[in-house]
């Protein structure tokens, strides 16, 4: 599953999600460390590590300052299992009349069912749902394109000229 406003450059996170699922038979959420000031706008994962695998012990959606010491932010790439889909189906509509994916994960954890986290190892995550994030992603793509002549030589769409 993927949220459309999240872009990951430099890593095939889908392969990592599948690898972690094959290893654990658990749903998997991708994540990345973020700066302290960004935490209140994101879903933060508290984890324990067993045999090199991160298991989520707590998921705090948009935490108030000082309510979690973790800096691992959930990002919009997930491997959803039938068990997690079952929790999603039972999750009640929440804030702003929306069904929140985070609530289904929190529900699953509350029932003692394991959910794994997969931190990015080589890639970078950009959330493009706000102007600053979008500008950061465009700048990163521009910088990345210098390593790929086939991208540099592409003609810009007419709408951008």
Which residue positions in the chain have pLDDT lower than 70? 145-161
Q: Residue 105 is inside which H or E element, if any?
A: helix 101-110
Return the pLDDT at 80. Answer: 95
Question: What's the pLDDT score for residue 159?
Answer: 44
Q: At what angle do helices 101-110 and 82-90 cross, to 10 degrees?
A: 110
């Amino acid at each position: 599953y993927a949220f459309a406003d999240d872009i990951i450059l430099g890593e095939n996170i889908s392969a990592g999600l599948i690898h972690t699922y094959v290893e654990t038979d658990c749903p998997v959420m991708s994540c990345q460390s973020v700066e302290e000031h960004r935490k209140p706008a994101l879903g933060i994962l508290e984890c324990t590590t067993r045999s090199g695998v991160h298991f989520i012990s707590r998921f705090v959606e948009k935490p108030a300052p000082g309510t979690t010491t973790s800096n691992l932010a959930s990002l919009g790439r997930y491997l959803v299992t039938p068990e997690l889909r079952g929790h999603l189906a039972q999750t009640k509509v929440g804030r702003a009349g929306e069904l929140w994916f985070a609530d289904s994960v929190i529900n699953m954890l509350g029932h003692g069912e394991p959910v794994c986290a997969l931190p990015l190892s080589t890639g970078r995550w950009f959330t493009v749902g706000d102007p600053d994030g979008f500008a950061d992603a465009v700048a990163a793509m521009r910088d990345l394109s210098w390593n790929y002549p086939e991208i540099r030589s592409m003609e810009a769409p007419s709408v951008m000229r």
